[in-house]
């Protein structure tokens, strides 16, 4: 029997518990990550939803940016939801804040408007699973992906905008699968982690 | 099908604020200081609770131009307060596009018997509670987030502690209460039966629960987090202190690292004077605002 992979959830602020529950449901081990050295216990990392400005500042204060960049550079899989996606982008359409700058995408913050414009909708997924059932996606003051570089594959769109994308072993979603009972996207990420662990 | 204002979308925003600090601000400049310090949201007000307390008279929803100026100044969510039961003030705030409405005891109540029917709104609501029954009544009315009330504008954390301990103790007790007794419990608490059953089964509130009312120092914030709060509201504590920017930042760090005394010691250093606190017994029971709410 293979050992369960350990997935870390960056636990500075935001929807940490929901991701940890999803990870356990998918049969992996989930740990909250509060300090950079804990990153080395993880085979994969999730940056949760929260406030990206808050998270960016806390990540800078405690030296997470360099540490995560180095580990992802060595091939550690990483998944960012909503604020996590903003953190992983190389470019923002407007505003400047500390970013990890990992993925070749340009992101627009609060792209759909304020909270009264937050919504849920069924979106079709590409390459996530064989069933190809639509995914009930929850968008909360959500960003969208304005443009992608050549290495990025778009796996989900809403209203003509990319909202789920992958590049190598980096995955981002503008919406929150952790708030639904649907674990297909987390299972997809876990496969990226298992591929990497298998070498 | 695209749906707005679903319960999942409303409670979801509160989930995203967890582990964060929501700060009272009265000007765009203060809002920027709060955002810069790492606040997850701001509460737009005309006056902070300490000043409302001092001024007396009727406290109402803030002038829309104050709220709009703050909404323009920052990209983090902006909340604003309405009087208990004042659903027209809530309609106005929804039209302005605020991200969360606080139906708040800090303002003078507009209805002495009924709270707002919050299900009728697309914008989510946060409401105060001093015990589990009150929290579940508000959730029954559609609140998507709860905050324990504490005693606003005092800089004294004792009531915040009392309310958080009370709710958590009542939740713990429910988890070991036999199912057949839950209806009587619901009756005594004045809480919806289905919500009482949900709490008994899950051992927590169905929505996020922040702490509010009296938090003035990083240690206060960490205390409330260790007692089980999902995050904290800081009202007068920041902009009534000597060095708001430094204190705001320190409270953010203390809320993230609430379990790390070394970091707490480091961030508590050299913050200047905290706001002047008030002893609760000197206020007099008839002047306590935590008892507003039904």
**DSSP assignment of B153-222:** TS--THHHHHHHHHHHHHHHHHHTS-GGGHHHHHHHHT--HHHHHHHHHHSS-SSEEEE-SS--SHHHHH
* pLDDT category of residue A1 using cuts at 50, 70 and 90: very low
- Write a three-state SS string for chain A: CCCCCEEEEECCCCCHHHHHHHHHHCCCEEEEECCHHHHHHCCEEEECCCCHHHHHHHHHHCCHHHHHHHHHHCCCCEEEECHHHHHHEEEECCCCCCCCCCEEEEEECCCCCCHHHCEEEEECECCCCCCCCCEEEEECCCCEEEEECCCCEEEEEECCEEEEEEECCEEEECCCHHHCCCCHHHHHHHHHHHHHHHC
Q: Is A177 on the interface with B (CB under 8 A)?
A: no
**Confidence (pTM):** 0.96
Mean pLDDT of B279-290: 91
**pLDDT of residue A52 exceeding 50:** yes
Structure tokens at B75: 């990209």
Residue A182 has pLDDT above 70, yes or no: yes
Q: Across residues B162-191, what is the average pLDDT?
A: 98
Residue A170 pLDDT more than 80? Answer: yes
Mean pLDDT over B209-222 rounds to 97
Which of the four pLDDT bands, split at 50, 70 and 90, describes residue A2? Answer: low
A16 touches chain B (CB under 8 A): yes
Q: What is the nearest CA distance from B21 to chain A, expressed in angstroms? A: 10
d(CA B48, CA B233): 12
- pLDDT attached to residue A3: 79
> What is the pLDDT averaged over residues B164-178?
98
Mean per-residue pLDDT of chain B: 96
Q: Beta A161-167 vs A153-158: how paired, if at all?
A: antiparallel
- Helix residue ranges per DSSP H, chain B: 7-17, 28-37, 49-55, 64-73, 87-96, 132-140, 158-175, 182-189, 193-202, 218-226, 236-239, 244-256, 261-268, 280-283
Chain B residues touching chain A at CB-CB below 8 Å: 1-6, 8-9, 12-13, 15-20, 35, 38-41, 75-77, 94, 97-100, 122-124, 252-253, 256-257, 260
For the segment B219-241, the average pLDDT, to the nearest whole number, is 96
pLDDT band at B75 (very low <50, low <70, confident <90, very high): very high
Query: Worst-scoring range by mean pLDDT, A41-55, A169-183, B74-88, B270-284?
Result: B270-284
Complex prediction ipTM:
0.95
List the 47-76 stretch of A: residues with Cβ below 8 A of B.
Answer: 49-51, 53-54, 57-58, 61
Indicate the pLDDT class of residue A131, thresholds 50, 70 and 90.
Answer: confident
Element (H, E) at B294: none
């Amino acid at each position: 029997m293979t050992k369960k992979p350990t997935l870390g959830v960056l636990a500075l602020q935001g929807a940490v518990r929901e991701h940890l529950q999803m990870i356990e449901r998918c049969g992996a081990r989930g740990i909250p990550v509060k300090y950079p050295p804990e990153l080395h216990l993880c085979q994969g990392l999730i940056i949760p939803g929260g406030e990206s400005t808050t998270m960016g500042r806390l990540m800078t204060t405690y030296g997470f940016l360099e540490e995560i960049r180095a580990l992802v550079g060595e091939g550690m899989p990483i998944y960012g939801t909503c604020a996590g996606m903003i953190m992983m982008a190389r470019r923002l359409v407007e505003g400047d804040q500390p970013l990890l700058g990992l993925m070749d995408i340009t992101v627009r913050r609060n792209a759909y408007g304020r909270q009264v414009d937050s919504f849920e909708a069924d979106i079709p997924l590409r390459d996530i699973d064989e069933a190809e059932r639509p995914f009930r996606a929850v968008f909360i003051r959500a960003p969208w992906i304005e443009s992608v570089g050549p290495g990025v594959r778009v796996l989900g769109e809403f209203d003509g905008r990319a909202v789920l994308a992958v590049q190598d072993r980096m995955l981002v979603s503008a919406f929150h699968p952790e708030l639904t009972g649907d674990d297909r996207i987390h299972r997809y990420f876990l496969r990226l982690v298992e591929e990497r662990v298998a070498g | 099908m695209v749906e707005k204002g679903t319960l999942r979308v409303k409670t979801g925003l509160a989930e995203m604020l967890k582990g964060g600090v929501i700060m009272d601000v009265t000007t765009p400049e203060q809002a920027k200081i709060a955002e810069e310090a790492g606040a997850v949201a701001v509460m737009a007000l005309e006056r902070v609770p300490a000043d409302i307390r001092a001024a007396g008279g009727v406290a109402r929803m803030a002038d829309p131009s104050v709220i709009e100026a703050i909404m323009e100044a920052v990209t983090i969510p902006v909340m604003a307060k309405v009087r208990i039961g004042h659903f027209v003030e809530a309609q106005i705030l929804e039209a302005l596009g605020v991200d969360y409405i606080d139906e708040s005891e800090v303002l003078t109540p507009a209805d002495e018997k009924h709270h707002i029917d919050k299900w009728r709104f697309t914008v989510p609501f946060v409401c105060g509670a001093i015990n589990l029954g009150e929290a579940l009544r508000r959730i029954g009315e559609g609140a998507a987030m709860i905050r324990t009330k504490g005693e606003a504008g005092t800089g004294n954390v004792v009531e915040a502690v009392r309310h958080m301990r009370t709710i958590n103790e009542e939740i713990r007790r429910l988890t070991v209460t036999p199912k057949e007794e839950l209806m009587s419990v619901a009756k005594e608490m004045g809480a919806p039966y289905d919500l009482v059953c949900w709490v008994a089964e899950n051992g927590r509130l169905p929505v996020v629960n922040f702490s509010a009312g009296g938090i003035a120092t990083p240690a206060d914030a960490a205390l409330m987090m260790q007692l089980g709060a999902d995050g904290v509201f800081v009202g007068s504590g920041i902009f009534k202190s000597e060095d708001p920017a430094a204190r705001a930042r320190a409270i953010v760090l203390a809320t993230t690292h609430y379990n790390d005394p070394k970091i707490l010691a480091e961030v508590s250093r050299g913050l200047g004077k905290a706001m002047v606190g008030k002893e609760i017994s000197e206020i007099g029971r008839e002047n306590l605002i935590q008892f507003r709410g039904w």
